[in-house]
């Protein structure tokens, strides 16, 4: 009886791993397919991104939190401002209602989408954050750096017409996961090894490698 049969197809031998999903800390070249905003019951606004990475559509929920629940500005509002500069956007108009495939099982969900951001290339520094809530492991993707896709320039380098890409190189050398609530690196490694078992709140989307063949429909 065979214990393991070697696979020689392209998907199993390509360099750089086999995952089309962002599931580890790193620097990522992506396409921003859409950007939406949601508001909680306290009036706090949160920005989400629908991206394509390795030809795979996937959401980044809570990419930038703009407000705290008390109405004050969240510290991530500045990061969002820098992000827009790297995209070449000076101002966002009020968002429009549209359906995005970000619901459970990638079903369409009605959200408020910004028309200025569609099929836009970007470079993101994504850091995995691990913690616990009610004894259950949580995994989140946190955006810790944004860069212009063409030359990896930061917002500061763009505004000051400075040499581009220098901060990107520094940021790429400082990659590390975030551990909160007493969670240890060893505990998370074991959790990942065991397939992010049922005690976890998984951030991974359902499997699909199909980039949408239509633009996301704006509603009148």
Angle at CA of residue 93, ends 92 and 96, nearest 5°: 115
Whole-number pLDDT of residue 195: 84
| Strand residue runs (E) in 66-113 | 96-100, 109-113
Whole-number pLDDT of residue 19: 73
Nearest to 176 by CA among 137, 144, 152, 138: 144
Q: CB of 108 within 8 A of CB of 171?
A: no
Whole-number pLDDT of residue 217: 62
pLDDT tens by residue, 26-81: 999 999 999 999 999 999 999 999 999 999 999 999 999 999 999 999 999 999 99
Whole-number pLDDT of residue 211: 47
Q: What pTM was computed for the model?
A: 0.80
Integer Cα distance of 148 and 29 in angstroms: 10
Query: Which parts of the chain have pLDDT scores under 50?
Result: 4, 14-18, 198, 200-214
């Amino acid at each position: 009886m065979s214990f393991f049969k070697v696979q020689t197809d392209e998907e199993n031998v390509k360099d750089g791993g086999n995952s089309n999903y962002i599931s580890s800390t790193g620097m990522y070249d992506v396409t921003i397919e859409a950007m939406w905003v949601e508001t909680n019951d306290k009036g706090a606004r949160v920005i989400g991104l629908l991206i394509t990475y390795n030809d795979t559509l996937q959401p980044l929920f809570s990419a930038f939190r703009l407000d705290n629940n008390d109405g004050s500005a969240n510290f991530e509002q500045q990061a969002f401002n820098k992000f827009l500069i790297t995209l070449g956007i000076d101002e966002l108009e009020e968002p429009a209602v549209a359906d995005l495939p970000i619901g459970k099982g990638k079903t369409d969900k009605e959200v408020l989408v910004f028309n200025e951001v569609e099929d836009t290339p970007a470079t993101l520094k994504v850091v995995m954050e691990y913690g616990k809530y009610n004894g259950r492991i949580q995994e989140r993707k946190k955006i810790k750096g944004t860069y212009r896709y063409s030359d990896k320039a930061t917002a500061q380098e763009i505004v000051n017409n400075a040499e581009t890409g220098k901060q990107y190189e520094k940021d790429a050398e400082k990659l590390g996961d975030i551990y909160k609530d007493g969670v240890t690196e060893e505990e998370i490694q074991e959790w990942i090894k065991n397939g992010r078992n049922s005690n976890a709140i998984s951030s991974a989307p359902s499997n699909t490698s199909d980039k949408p063949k239509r633009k996301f429909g704006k509603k009148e």
